[in-house]
Amino acid sequence: MQLLKTFCLGLAALTAATAEHVKFQLRNGQLPARAVNLGGWLVAEHWMTGSSPIWNGVPDDVANQGEFATMKHLGHGNGDWRFEQHRANWITEGDIREIASRGLNAVRVPIGYWIMGYDPADWSNHEEYKIFAPGALKYLDTLINNWAARHNVAVIVSLHAHKGSQNGRDHSAAPDSGKKYWSKYAENIENSVAWAKFIAGRYKDSDAFLGLNLMNKPEYDTDPNVVRSYFERAYREIRATGNDCVLITSPMLNEQNPGSMANFMNFPAFYNVWHDWHPYFVWGYDGKNEEQLIDAVKQYGRTNLAPWTGNWLFLGEWSMASPGSAPFRDDAQFRRYGQTLLDVFQGAHQGWSYWSWKVSGDENGKNGWSMRNMLRNGHLRL
């Protein structure tokens, strides 16, 4: 009887803990996400992780192409241990603890298709996934099943680097830098659907798993019709398993505006679908001074956020980085810039995710790409 009582009490406590996880409030739209990206961790980016052992002795023109080119250069004998060290140290439970203590309720974590450890649609037999350093999946497991569950932080997994590359960038580990092959070959789309189902299925019953960003930053000449067809197919196949996790769609990079995809995958035919924009105020704002940049942020709210009529909007990336013409050397003015961003971004129903939690060298000075630097130094106040 005592054993049964103990079991029941334990089950009740587990059920209560599960019901109380912030993931459920976020998924139901009761809370907006106040999130931060774990950038540079499971998809390494040289520009923001320069202190990592990955890059020692790797020429910049190779490192700046991303993981594929870097591992081709290093080989497994010299590369695997570097990536293992990087993954073990770039993000730790201490980071998740601090993220929670700062009042944030979610993280967005970029991953690459190679995290599966195999390619379910390698019809060409190129075996490109074998180029990458193995072993990233255990870190994603630990993040979702342990750290985030323990510290009441929800996890959005961003499918950042698709096979063949959807944008040719370093953060999609393009096999041919600048080239976008994803939509040109059916095996790439098949791989993406299988990958989305793999991640959604693996964490379906994990307390902290909020959902998937199905594709990060697709760019032309990736075919937008193929992108949208993939979104719909991934939705159908994931929902067919009884999984109601959040699924986040993205427009083409230069079409993040109210006129694009407002009528795509809408409720009630589709549910738990969010839409992703990345409002940065660093590129395309050269020449604007500090006041003009702050005004541009306010204008963005009026012309982009306010008119949006589509699925719940999620601002998956933003930062306090600014162009050289608006250096924000005065701390009070910099705080005003940050507060303006926060105020305007309240117009996105499902919140936002800062890019990124940390960058190399952010322990000193002022770095708008590092949220921990902004929070620790009082430049951003949530």
CATH at 328: 3.20.20.80
Is 178 part of any domain?
Answer: yes
**pLDDT < 50 regions, the chain:** 1-17
If one counts the domains in the chain, the total is: 1
Distance, CA of 334 to CA of 47 (rounded, Å): 23
Residue 16 lies in a domain: no
Dist CA 102 CA 78 (whole Å): 38
Which residue range is the domain that position 207 belongs to? 30-376
Cα-to-chain-centroid distance, residue 104: 15
Q: What is the rounded distance in angstroms from the CA atom of residue 300 to the CA atom of residue 106?
A: 24
Residue 22 lies in a domain: no
Helix or strand or coil: residue 106?
A: strand
Give the per-residue pLDDT at 18: 54
| Spatial distance between the Cα atoms of 164 and 116, rounded to a whole number of angstroms | 15
pTM above 0.85, yes or no: yes
**212 Cα distance to chain centroid:** 9
Q: Which strand (E) or helix (H) includes residue 18?
A: helix 2-20
In angstroms, what CA-CA distances link 198 with 58, 117, 232, 360?
A: 33, 11, 16, 32
Is 6 within a domain?
A: no
| Bridge partners (DSSP) listed for residue 314 | 276
Rounded to whole angstroms, how far apart are CA atoms 203 and 318? 26
pLDDT at 274: 99
Residue 263 falls within a domain, yes or no?
yes
User: For residue 19, what pLDDT is reported?
Assistant: 58
Q: Is the dihedral of CA 82, 113, 36, 153 positive or negative?
A: negative
pLDDT at 167: 97
Cβ pair 357, 95 in contact under 8 A: yes
* pLDDT given at position 220: 98
Count other Cβ atoms within 10 Å, centred on residue 186: 11
**pLDDT score, position 294:** 99
pLDDT at res. 12:
36
The pair of three-digit structure tokens given for residue 77, joined into one six-digit string: 């004998």
Does the residue 131 lie in any domain?
yes
- HSE-CB at 249 with a 13 A cutoff on CA atoms is 32
| In a domain? residue 21 | no
- The answer as to whether 204 is a domain residue is yes
Amino acid 14: pLDDT: 38
